[in-house]
Chains A and B, each alone.
Chain A
Amino acid sequence: MNELRATVAIVRHHIDRKFALDFAMQFVLLGILGYVFAPTFGNVLPVVVCGALAATNAAERAHAATLRGVSWFAMPLFGRQLARAHAIAPVLGALAIPLGYATGAALRGAPFPSQALTGAILASSVAVLVSLSSVFRDGLRAALYVGIAIGAVVTIAFGELAPHGLALAATLALVEGFFALRAFGETLARYDPIPAV
């Protein structure tokens, strides 16, 4: 078994036309948001907004239906290997949100500082990693993971305000992202794909 080949195949499987369309739409919508609100939002609120949007986007139900398919679980991979492979495309897709906002803000003449943009990228990535675990849960438990993702985003956004803020935000993102990915791997390892009744 060549794990890298399998991972690349799964990432390519996720990066299809729908992915590109979603990326473009998010980029444009956040560009508009950035253009309209950049002068009033400041530097912390956009990080929270970007992270929250990334979290809810990663948890969307259509995405859940795809990832719960039985064929993923027939593949000879451990849960953690499958988790890594499943996480790459959504994290890449979530980049559209902070990049779109930053582009809109720049077009408005109120550029998003590079430190805030880095924070927004980190927050969006962590939000996706936490929120992916909600894909394999329903109802309140799924919503709880989205809530945890937004909580993680808030810690990163306010971490940026501290002295050496970027380093603190990056450390928080690394720790939270690591545990989120581990939790997602555990979720996949425990999940039983039951057929529809």
Chain B
Amino acid sequence: MKKYDAVVIGSGASGLTSAILFSKRGKKVALLEQSDHLAPLLSGFDRLGVHFETGFHYSGILGKDEAGGFLFDELGIDAPVRQCQKEDYDVAYLVDSKRSFRMPLGVQNWIEQLNEFFPHEKEGIKKYFDLVKQTIDATPFLNIHKRHYKNEEFFYFNADKKTLKEVLDECFKTDEIKSALSFSTSLYGTPPSKSSFFLHCCCGAIMYESAWKFVGGARSFVNACKKVLDRNGVDIFLSSKVNRISLKQDLKVLTLDNGQQLECDFCISSIHPKELIKIAPPEIYRQRNLDRIKNTAETPGFFISYAISKNPQKYNISNLAFLKSADFLNDHKDSMYINFSENLPQAVQFSMRVNSNSKQWDMPRDEYKKTKEQMMQKIKSIVNQYRPDIWENMNFVEQATPLTMKRYTNYYGAYGMMHSSNDAAIMPITKIPGLFLVGQAVVAPGLIGAMISAFLLDKMFGLRK
């Protein structure tokens, strides 16, 4: 049986980060991935020679002198990023007032533009952005690059459970602006009434100051990580799904579905906590804790239709969302947006929020086909209502549903477990010494949240020494 100091299960953003950090501590590390290539969700896919992004489009704070850039440096990865430009960033079409709100970059620009669009909300706009700044400034892991925090301070989470909805209701009088400012909840999967304002700041509001893309797409990040893994001698096991984790004294024994077994001192799971408890020894948690994890809600799923634009001219938009004032009150339940790639021919994605309940997707093949057709019709009717010029220029090539998501990630929701302000946080530790959790469920969803979870585990290691 092969023995490692540390085995990391799952090769998404947190798995890659963890594997690099453990190898940097001089540990002999193995990284396991069930798919036949690293980080399938981040890596995207190609159809007819056109690349489609699936897991990552853009993020805040990836710049050199921001938290994300600092994390890349710490990992030693060379993943080139570029700032989104004003003309290729998000546009919200405000359906009720028939206005296009081109999302600005830079907090000051946000304030000015919102003041212009919503002159009667000036006071609230100032209050909202003051609260955002206070919260971001007071969060150690969003300021990890400033290096003045003690290691312990990273473990004091903001525990104010005030929801985003409560804060927006306090700041603003009308729903249209609340809808515009809460649309970014779609980027982390916890709707305004359930998302704490703190989570919103960590995942959505960090993009007011700056938004970044990877040059060459998110697979550049994966490739950059792969280089470091190879250099540090990390063994990568592809097509290797873990069936069972068992204990042999202090060692964790991982049995793969091909029967192979690996032994390790430290096992780091980056998979969905609900999946981990299926394969882990029962003593991983107390029963009540297990029940709590089992009962935690999933983030919503997406039905996505992928297309290639036949238009020889580029659409100078990155994301286009159709927003109704009522979307705020119904938690963006019917949210729909279109995403355009930056290169010609343009890869275009039509994403519509759908139910991520596993039972919903447990259906016979022909019914599944029919469901997809219905969803396609629904998207078509929405797009044609506002932008018929877009729909008629599309060559549709592929579709994805929460079931597709499940094939690659084992879960149906777009961002795994929901971080509802009423639910308990998932801790990086378990009852089994040496068995740890990282990933979107631990700190926050998204690339930054996933990477930070791995850094927190690494800091915890440093502290224990």
Whether A associates with B in a native complex is: no
Residues of B within 8 A of A (CB): none
Residues of A within 8 A of B (CB): none
